[in-house]
Chain A
Amino acid sequence: MPPPVLDVRALSVQFETNEGPLRVLRDVSLQVAPGETFGLAGESGSGKTTLGYTILQALAPTARVTGGAILFEGRDLLGVSEDELRRIRGRRIAMVYQDPRSALNPTTRIGAQIAEVLEIHERAPARAAGRRAQELLELVNIADPASVARRYPHELSGGMQQRAVIAMALAGGPSLLILDEPTTGLDVTTQARILELVADLKRRVGAAILYISHDLAVIAQVADRVGVLYAGELVEVGPTADLFAQPVHPYTRGLLDALPHLDGLRGLVPIEGRIPRLTDLPPGCVFAPRCDFVAPACTAATPALETVAPERRARCVRWPTVLATPRRSTAAAIAPETVASDAPLLAFEHVSKYFGGAGAVARWLGIGAPPVRAVDDVSFDVRADEVVALVGESGCGKTTLGRLAVRLLRPTAGRVRFAAPKPTDAQIVFQHPDSSLNPMKRIGPSLARPLVLRGLRRRERGRRVRELLEAVRLDPDYGARRPAALSGGEKQRVAIARALAMAPQFVVLDEPVSALDVSTQASIIRLLAELRRTLGASYLMISHDLSLVRHVAARVGVMYLGRLVEIGAVDEVFRAPSHPYTRALRSAVPRPDPAVPGRPIRLEGSVPSAQHPPAGCRFHTRCPQKIGRVCEEAEPPWARASPTHWIACHIPIAELSRSSEEARP
C-alpha cells in the first residue's frame, strides 16, 4: 500500500470559551491514501468540520491544537510557517465547503475566481489562467464553460455554484481534496449530480479525498473507507462495505438503525439521550450514557481504538458482545394504518397562490415583474384520520400549500375547505427549532398561551401544561426553562406540544425533522405517529425526504414548480407507473447501503423560474421522457393509474409502467 497522503495522528483540539475549554476533538487518528475517498461521518457537534479546518490551519483564533500531528505527504502541517502554508493551501490541499453561494466572492466573475488560484501559485499570465479556468469548468461537467466563466456567482444555480467551487479547488492540482458537506442544502437531484461528479473526479484526478458529511447515505455512496465521529472522538473506522454491513460500535449501529429507508421497512429506531456537552464530558466512553451495551468497564476509562478485524477498528470495550448480539428488529412500527373515513377533512380546490408582482402603474410602464406562481391550480384532499405527505424540491410550492392549509396565507384563486367546527382546529409545526419558539418566553408560558385562547382557567392551564410536556416526553421542570437552554430536538418537542395544546383535528408538519440529527429525527417521527394515534388527527406532512415520507404517510403527493404532478397511495407512488419527475426524484435518493449503488436519472439544467414557468407541462424543459410538441404546448391531463393513483402526464399510463421497468427494483 502506498504511504498515506494524509496521516492524522492522535489530534486534539480545543476552543477556549467563557464556560471553560471546549474539547472539540480528542485523540483523532486517520489516514487517507492517494486515490482513496475517506468518508468522515458525524452528527452536529461531532467535530467533523473542525477537523477539516485544522488540517488547513484555518481555525478560529480561540481554537488551539493541544496534541498530535497532521502529516501531509510526510510533513507535519502543525509546524510549517505561514509562508509555506500559503504555498500548500489551494495548491497541494484544497477545500470545498457547504453553501457555495457564500463561498464565492459576490462581485468577482466565476472565471476570475478560478484563475486566481493559478495566478497565485503558478504566476500564470492572465490569459492562460483564464483559458485554464474554462478547462476546469469543463472538467466539472459544465456544458458552456466560456459563458459560465463570465458570470457572477448570483447568476448561477446552487448546483452550478458548487461545481464552480469544486473547479476552483481542482485548479491547483491538489493531492488532497477536503469536501465538507458539499451537497448539504442542495436539492436531491442536484446532489445526485454532484456525487456523480465526485466519483468521476476520483477516477480522473486521482487525488485523495476527505469527504465530510452528516449524511450516512451519501457517505455510503462515495466513500471507500469510513470513520465515524462522535462528540469529538473517532469511534469506529473501516472499509465502507464492511462497516455498513456489520457496524461494530454501538453508536454506528444506532445511527444506521435510525436512518429512514426508501423501502419503508427498516430504520427510524431512535438513539435515546443527547450528545454530551463538550465542556463536561462523561467519564470513560463518551457514548456510555446513551449506550444499550453499557457495562461498568465502559465508565472506568476512555476505551482505545482497538483492532476488531483486518482494517477495522472500534473504540468500544464491549465490541465482542455487540457483534454477538443480533441487531434490533427494525420493523417500522409507525407505518400508517389504512384510512377509515372517506369524508374529506381538508380539501384544496383549484388553489393558486401568487406572490408579489408589480402594481398596475409599473406594469403599464413595462418595468414591473410578473408575480411568482408559488402554487398554481392544485386540488387534492386530506381525509379524517389520514396522513398525507407532499414531496418535492425547494421552490415547488409545498411549504406555501401548507401555509394555505392553516390560513396563514389566502389563496389567490380557488378554495381551501376545512370541515372542522373551528378554523383553529388546523395547526402547524414548523421546520426550524431555533425560530419556532419565542426566545423571550419561557416554555411554560409559551405552552399556556394556546390554553388561554381556549378559555382554560389558570389552575387547569398549569395541569395541562404539565400533561403536554409529558406527552412530548419532556420533564415538567422544562416549563421554567428558556428556549436557549434546549437542544434542537427538545425545542421541536415543545413546538409540537404547543400545536397539540389547541387540540387540533388537522396538523401541518412542515419539514418537522429536517433540521435535526438522524438520531433525534427518528424519535420525533415516532412521537408524532404515536400522538396522532391518541389524538385521531390528520397530518399533512411536507418533506423533501422521500425515505421519511415512505415511513409515515398513507398517501403522497409530488409537486414540481407550483403544480401537483402525481398523487397516490404511498406504495403506488414509490413504484411504477410514475410521473417522470417522481421517477427521477426517487432515483436520486442515495441509499445508505454501499451494496446498492445509486443510478440516478440525470435531470438537465435547473428548475425554471416560478415567475416565468414553461408553458404546457412545467417539467418539459428537463424531462428525460419528453415525447414532443404536446409537452411544450398542452397542459398534461390527469390520468388514472388506479382508483387512488393519479398522474399528470401526456405519456399514457401503460407506457409509464413500461418505462419504469428498467428502474432498479
Chain B
Amino acid sequence: MTVGGWQPIAALDDLAPRHVFQASLDGQELAVWRADSGELNAWENRCLHRGVRLSIGFNNGAELLCRYHGWRYATGTAGCTYIPAHPADAPARTITNRTYPIVERYGLVWSGREVDGRPEEVAELGAHTLVLRALPVWAPRSFVLDALVDHRFAPNEGLDVDPAEVEMTCDRRQGSIVLTAAHGGSSSTVVYWVQSLDAHTSVIRPVLAETPDDVIAVLRHHARALRELVDRVERTVPSRSVEPQGPLETPVVVERSAGSGPHIEVRVRRKWWTAPDVAAFELTPLAGVLPTPQPGSHIDLRLPNGLVRQYSLTNGPGESDHYRIGVKLEVDGGGGSTLLHDVVTEGDVLTISGPRNGFPLRRDTEHTVLIAGGIGLTPLLAMAQAIRLDRRGFELHVFVRGEDALAFPDVVESFGADATVHVALSPAQTAGRIADVLVAARASHPGALVYACGPAPMLDVVRATAAAAGWADPAVHFEYFSNHHEIDDSTPFEVALARSGTTLEVPAGTSLLEVLRGAGVALPSSCEKGACGTCAVPVIDGTPDHHDVYLRDAERAANTTMLSCVSRARSDRLVLDL
C-alpha cells in the first residue's frame, strides 16, 4: 500500500453549494466542503467535541456547524468560532480541526498525505476536458489500476463502433493510466485516476481530454463501458486479496497555523482610506494561515517604533485569509496611528499577536442591538456580518461626526435597513437617540442583547441608559478603546497565590501583572490599560480595587475576577486562584 501522493477525492461538481461532501482517502474519512467564496476545505470528518461526523453537519457558506451540539468551524483555518453551550465565551484559539491539503485540477478535487505542489501535470489535458462519471469498485487500488490497462471504449466520433474493432493504446504513468481509443481516423483520450477509499474499495475517476458535442451521449457511453469493467473486476478480485493496510497512526496534520504565540509576521496587502481620518489595512501572513478570527476579537499590532496598539478585526465569517483593521488618526494619541497613516505602506511587514477576544458575541439571540461611536464600529462590523450569516435579527447604529466620517461605508451599506447612520449629533442629541433606540428595542425584543463600542462618554451613556430602560446588566456588552480612569497605584498590598502557595508584595508604583510575571507566573496580556480583559485573574478572597473599564458592574461587584494590569486591592491582602 503506497500512502502518499495526490489522489482525486471528488469531482468539483460534487461539491454543491452549501453541501458537505463525505469523502475517504486511504481509510481516512474527510468532510469536504466549499464556502460561498469558493474556498475548498478538506477536514477530518469528526467534530473535536464528541466525534460526530461533520459531513452530516451544516455548511452555512462560511462555517461548518456540527449537527450534534452546534460547534462552528471557520472555512480555511478550521478554527472553532463558537460553542453554543458557552455562548458568552470566546472559544480557545487552539480548538482547530485537522485540515488536509486540497486543490482543484482538471475539474477534480485532490487531497493526499505528505504532498506538496500540485497534482501531476498531464500533457493530454488541455483547456477543454470533460469529467466523466466516476464509479466505485470493490477492489484494492492496485488491482483496479492493473485492470484499467485492458479497458476499452469507443472514440467520441464513433460511439456505436464495436469495441472489439477499436484500437486501444495505453500509457501507464506514476498515478494514472492514459488510454486512447482510435477507429477510422478519429480518436479519443481518457485519463484514469484511481482513488483509494480504503484497503478494499476504490473509485475510478476518468477525465476525457476534450469537450465533445454530445456530452450526454459520451457520458453515457463511458459510464456503461466503465460499469462493465467494474463488474469484471468485482467478479475476478480474489475475496481475500485485500492488501493489508497497516494502522495509519494519527493522520498527517498539515501545519497551517502561522503561529499561536505573540508574534506573527504579516504583510500589508492593501492600505486605503476608508474615511478621511481612517486608514484601513488588510494584513496577510508571510507564512502559513492566520489563526481564526472571531467576531469581537482584536490583535496587538507592534509598530516599527516599538509601540504596541490594539485593533479590532472587522472580518466577517469566511474571511480567513487576511485580517482587516481600521485605524483612526489620533493626532494626540502617542504616535501609533500617525505612523500607520503616514509611514506604513503596502508591502511592509509588521508583527502582530494572534487574535484575542474580550468582546465575544453570543449567537443564540433573536435580536442584537449594535451601537457604535466613530471607529468603535470596527468590532461591530464583524459581529453584524456574523449575525447576518445566521439570519438572525440585528440593528446597527453608527454615530459619526460628519457625513464622510463613516468608516467602511460599503460594508455598512450592505446591511440595508438594518443599519442606521446618525450624523453630527451633539452629545445631548446622541444621548437622546441612544435612549430612543434602547427603549424601543427593549419593548420590541425583550430578549435582545446590546453590544456597544465607542468613546468612553458614549459608552457611559449607553450603560446608564440601558440600566434605566430596564436592560439587565448581563445583556449589555461593551468595549472601551482605552481606560479613561485615573489609576491610583500609590498603595502597596499583599497577594497570596492559593495554588502555588506563594505570597508576594505588590509595591506602590508597580502593577500586579508585573509582580506576577516577576514571580514566574505566565499571564497573557494585551492592552495593559484595563480595557481588553486579556490579563484577568480569578480572585478567591479579599476585595479588589477595580480600575479597569472591562468588567460589567455585576462582575465588578462580585469581586471574583480582576484585571491584573491596573486593578489593586482595597483589602490589605488578596488571594488569587493561581
Q: Do A and B come from one complex?
A: no
Instruction: Please give the residue numbers on chain B whose beta carbons come within 8 Å of chain A beta carbons, in ascending order.
Output: none
